[in-house]
Amino acid sequence: MNINIQKEILEKPLSQVIGVVEKRQTLPILGNVYLELKQGTLTLVGSDLETEITTKVDNVSGQDGKTTVSARKLFDICRSLKNEALLTLSTESDNKMVVSAGKSRFTLQTLSADDYPRLEETQWKHEFSIQQKQLNSLLTKTSFSMAQQDVRYFLNGLLLEFHNNRIVSVATDGHRLAKTQVSVDPTSVEFVQSIVPRKAVLEIGKFLDGASEDPVEVKLNASHISIRSGYFMFISKLIDGRFPDYEKVIPANLDKHIIINRENLIEILSRAAILSNEKFRGVSLALEADLLKVRSHNPDQEHAKDEMEVDYPHPPIEIGFNVTYLLEALRACDSDNIDLGLLDPNTSCTFHAEGSSDTLYLIMPMRL
């Protein structure tokens, strides 16, 4: 195999597939990127047996063939060269690839492309299209609430719920919950719930354009999800488990609702967070007649107190929260004002954009 390609043309697809390539692999070949040149089209594949990313580049000159080579080393070589550099990648008979650009020359070890494990093409049960910006919104507004390495494995991912013309995205780590939804053109998809693994969610988000209305093709079955946009194709196994009934944990009896400016609340919480306990990150929110007071302290006996005016006509109440959970949710909410719902110090709070409950965040209280 022989490939002639501009550095800046090769660098982007390499950066896309390298995200799923783990640094430490049980199988050495999984540290490699699969390269195949066929009739002027270069195909690149990265995989970790659970997730696979495939992308292609057209109008590449060279000699047809296929191989696998260290993804990280090839990417680092590519990144170290000047943008105008012309790369030549050629394989030799002794399981070696020579990468040359100008006077630079690198010899890398290769492994047979025939041994590269690919996720098998499966029979897809559901297929539909969604705009890139809609899919990006579903992920960015909820993915930060996914659990990390929780023994409840079904929480280490993001729930996508499909039903006719609506897609709901939900993530929770047991202490907080984020939920959003978008409307799409009517599809033939009956009610389906799919739990996409955390790593897959993060990789999908890397290639989505939050402003693009270009369509993304989504395919589903009981065990896999596929997402395709142009030459970029992403396949991931789904988490086999039952996601909690998220509707049951959202309190319906919150009797105290106040409208708060989102940016002002972010600022006051950020200041209080400076002196919060580094481990538990607790802050106290105290509401009284038209006033919100925020307090924090830490084991070094340091204290922070701040306040802002709010329209609060209810009885006084004080609740403790993890300030990181509050700030991450507030920053993901794209609204000038939020509607904050409270009941008592032992009940979770919820908030959503003023006038719209399509996106909702729930945060459990904590004892301070």
Least confident of 6-15, 106-115, 180-189, 220-229: 180-189
**Claim to verify: residue 315 and residue 234 sit in the same structural domain:** no
Same-domain check for residues 267 and 359: yes
DSSP class of residue 334 equals: -
Q: What pLDDT is stored for residue 108 in this prediction?
A: 96
Report how far apart, in Å, the C-alpha atoms of 130 and of each of 125, 186, 223, 246, 356 are: 17, 11, 20, 24, 21
121 lies in some domain? no
Predicted confidence band of residue 23 (pLDDT cuts 50, 70, 90)? confident
- pTM for the model stands at 0.91
In which band, very low, low, confident or very high, does the pLDDT at 238 lie, cut at 50, 70 and 90?
A: very high
Name the domain boundary from 246, 278, 297. Answer: 246
Q: What is the pLDDT of residues 292-347, one digit of tens each?
A: 999 999 999 999 999 999 999 999 999 999 999 999 999 999 899 999 999 999 99
Instruction: Using the 3D structure, point to which of 88, 115, 142 is the last residue of a domain.
Output: 115
The reported pLDDT for the residue numbered 127 is 87
Instruction: Name 187's Cβ contacts closer than 8 Å, sequence gap at least 6.
Output: 126, 128, 162, 164, 165
d(CA 355, CA 331): 18
- Cα separation, 269 vs 267, in Å, equals 6
pLDDT, tens digit (0-9, with 9 covering 90-100), for 28-45: 999 999 999 999 999 999
Same domain as 289, residue 204: no
Residue 187's pLDDT is 66
Rounded mean pLDDT of 288-295? 95
Tokens (6 digits) for 67? 């191989």
Q: Tell me the two tokens of residue 83.
A: 């943008």
**133 with 242, same domain?**
yes
Residue 329 to residue 319: CA distance in whole angstroms: 17
What residue has token string 């920053």? 331
Q: What pLDDT score does 188 carry?
A: 64
User: Residue 301 is which amino acid?
Assistant: Q
Reference 347, options 326, 366, 365; nearest CA is 365
Structural domain containing residue 274: 250-363
Structural domain includes residue 368: no
Query: For residue 317, what are the β-bridge partners?
Result: 287
188 falls within a domain: yes
List, for residues 66-75, the tens digit of each pLDDT value: 999 999 999 9
pLDDT of residue 365: 97
Q: Are residues 154 and 261 in the same domain?
A: no
Q: Please, which pLDDT band fits residue 25 given cuts at 50, 70 and 90?
A: confident
Percent with pLDDT over 70 in the chain = 99
**Residue 185: what pLDDT?**
79
33 is a domain residue:
yes
Q: 241 and 254 share a domain? A: no
Same domain, 322 and 342: yes
- Identify whether residues 254 and 242 lie together within a single domain: no
Residue 53 pLDDT greater than 70, yes or no:
yes
CB-based contact 250:214 (threshold 8 Å): no
Evaluate whether 91 touches 186 at the Cβ level (below 8 Å). no
Q: Is residue 323 part of a domain?
A: yes
CATH number at residue 347: 3.10.150.10
Nearest residue to 5 via CA among 86, 90, 103: 86
Q: 186 pLDDT band (50/70/90 cuts)? A: low
Q: How many C-beta neighbours within 10 Å does residue 338 have?
A: 21
Confidence of residue 368 (pLDDT cuts 50, 70, 90): confident
Percent of the chain surpassing pLDDT 90? 85
Name the H helices within the chain: 7-17, 71-80, 132-140, 198-207, 246-249, 262-273, 323-332
Note whether 181 and 166 are within 8 A (CB): yes
120 in a domain, yes or no?
A: no
Q: Which residue is associated with the tokens 């297929």?
A: 127
**Range in 25-39, 112-126, 139-153 with the lowest mean pLDDT:** 112-126
Last residue of a domain, which of 246, 269, 294?
A: 246
Q: What is the mean pLDDT of the segment spanning 102-128? A: 90
- The mean pLDDT of the chain is 93
For 205-224, the pLDDT digits (tens) are 988 988 899 999 999 999 99
Residues 6+ apart with CB under 8 A from 89: 1, 2, 3, 5, 35, 62, 97, 98, 99
Token pair listed for 109: 């070890």
Asked whether residue 289 falls in the same domain as residue 231, the answer is no
Measured distance CA(282)–CA(320) in Å, rounded: 6
Number of domains in the chain: 3
Domain co-membership, 279 together with 226: no
Asked if residue 364 lies in contact with residue 176, where contact means CB atoms within 8 angstroms, the answer is: yes
In which residue are the tokens 């390269």 written?
Answer: 35
Strand partners, 56: 43
Residues 72 and 137 in one domain: no
Regarding whether 235 and 197 lie in a shared domain, the answer is yes
Separation of alpha carbons 129 and 316, rounded Å? 49
CA 289, chain centre distance (Å): 40
- Judge contact between 226 and 269, C-beta under 8 A: no
Q: Among residues 66, 33, 27, which one has the least CA distance to residue 47?
A: 33
